[in-house]
Structure 1
């Protein structure tokens, strides 16, 4: 009798957890139990898993996942273009989290692996991915995490000195130069802080800009998530930019850049970095000319 009762209780627990979600491809993915062996192929997805207190279930990550520190010791299995399929299969995952842009998606599914394709690009996406992964993992309250992010963003915005509100900023994500426009999640951060982005959203989230565009816009501050700052004055016309003349350039470290360019659960930390930059609390480069 007791054995039958135990079976019924276990079955009831399994049914109670049964979850079906729709990923960013529109594919419906069902889970009878919370996955216990997870491979993540995008740094932000790795961070989501850990924010939801399931970090210990990660058995492999992409080559760029480095936060929190514990994931650095895990097997690294490639990136968007070069995911090592054999290495992933060898880890025997019961869930692979991958961006929709990964070239490995179809092959992983063809090999019978459970794949959830998610690629957060906006604030709304971050909230949605949290809400989706929370039930799948069966862990921490995702809604509470999002409320905490929102509250911390509001605190960061209040910490920006009033005289800096409306400051016109240019945020460069790579030295190509690719910039973060108003329609990117970085652009959303900039707006939430009360700053003005010189790059319109109509150009796309991360447009490749002609350097002359920035010269015409003449931002008051330049924020650079790249170590190429010494070359900025050599760009056509840039030597006369007011931001360079006034030394209003923030160059973030590689670790800080990771926080800023990932649409994940560290949005509020990214906002605080921007505020600290504008308050002069981070090392600024670009001496007065």
Structure 2
């Protein structure tokens, strides 16, 4: 048990703190930290992750604030933490290996380094099981991930959804685009002809999104994913946050793609 007073201003960090058994040390979170619900719902909320109430944060007297550049725009909060001379740790994972590394870094920063290896080992075991299952597949599907509809934001080469796609034996439709995200056009999506389309709109609960919001777009009827009924709305918390929940998403993805292998 750590004696630190910890604040998390990014949902993925809150989830990693829970994986390390540190959620009881958390004294405040951003508004979007919603998991695990039973543990975070009563914690003080400090505003949306891009507009943290720094006065309220200071009042909570944190020993350590955990931020993450995986959320575009978080730089403003980091600058304020620096100005206020508040001890903080900034994570910015792009790959599966970097998520493992962040777990080790976070555990060390919070004084519980011995807990990291257990968590990493469990996640690595999940990856291995998924790879073994995907190895028996008969095809390598093209996967289109949509973070936001207007304009279209989709992951590029330097995002965890590219290796996630590869681990299930597929390919991220825009993995050839440099950087973390790419602003695609509808014409590009149609031309690249994805086999599966996944709506994971950041910050939007799955029950607020309908597949028709994608399938009804002009020209999309020509896309194989639409023709074959392979357009899905997935829980964004399992694919848009670089935490242990991403590995749950990985397990669910391989089941979705290859039900015949179950």
Give me the TM-score of the superposition, normalised by structure 2.
0.85
Q: In structure 2, what is the Cα distance between the partners aligned to 1:224 and 1:91?
A: 37
State whether structure 2 residue 15 is matched by structure 1 residue 42.
no
For 1:1-289, what aligned pairs fall within 5 Å after superposition?
36-69=4-37, 70-100=39-69, 101-139=74-112, 140-160=114-134, 162-176=136-150, 177-226=152-201, 227-252=209-234, 256-279=235-258
Cα displacement (A) at 1:180: 2.1
Asked whether the 8 Å contact 2:31–2:47 carries over to 1, the reply is yes
Asked whether the 8 Å contact 2:137–2:258 carries over to 1, the reply is no
Q: In structure 2, what is the Cα distance between the partners aligned to 1:242 and 1:164?
A: 17
Which secondary structure does the structure 2 equivalent of 1:103 belong to?
A: helix
Cα displacement (A) at 1:105: 2.3
Cα displacement (A) at 1:199: 1.1
Cα displacement (A) at 1:108: 2.7
Cα displacement (A) at 1:213: 0.8
**1:23 alignment partner in structure 2:** none
Gaps of at least 5 residues in structure 2 are 202-208
Asked whether the 8 Å contact 1:179–1:207 carries over to 2, the reply is yes
Asked whether the 8 Å contact 1:223–1:250 carries over to 2, the reply is yes
Q: In structure 2, what is the Cα distance between the partners aligned to 1:277 and 1:142?
A: 30
Give me the TM-score of the superposition, normalised by structure 1.
0.78
Asked whether the 8 Å contact 2:135–2:169 carries over to 1, the reply is no
Cα displacement (A) at 1:36: 1.6
Cα displacement (A) at 1:103: 1.2
Cα displacement (A) at 1:133: 1.4
**Aligned length, in residue pairs:** 246
**1:14 alignment partner in structure 2:** none
Q: If you compute each CA radius of gyration, which structure gives the higher value, 1 or 2?
A: 1
Cα displacement (A) at 1:259: 1.4
**1:22 alignment partner in structure 2:** none
Change (3 A) 1:37 1:191: same
Q: In structure 1, what is the Cα distance between the partners aligned to 2:90 and 2:179?
A: 22
Which secondary structure does the structure 2 equivalent of 1:243 belong to?
A: helix
Asked whether the 8 Å contact 2:67–2:91 carries over to 1, the reply is yes
- Over the aligned positions, Cα root-mean-square deviation in angstroms equals 2.2
Per-residue CA distance 1:103-146 (angstroms, 9 max, x = gap): 12233333342122222232232122111111222224212311
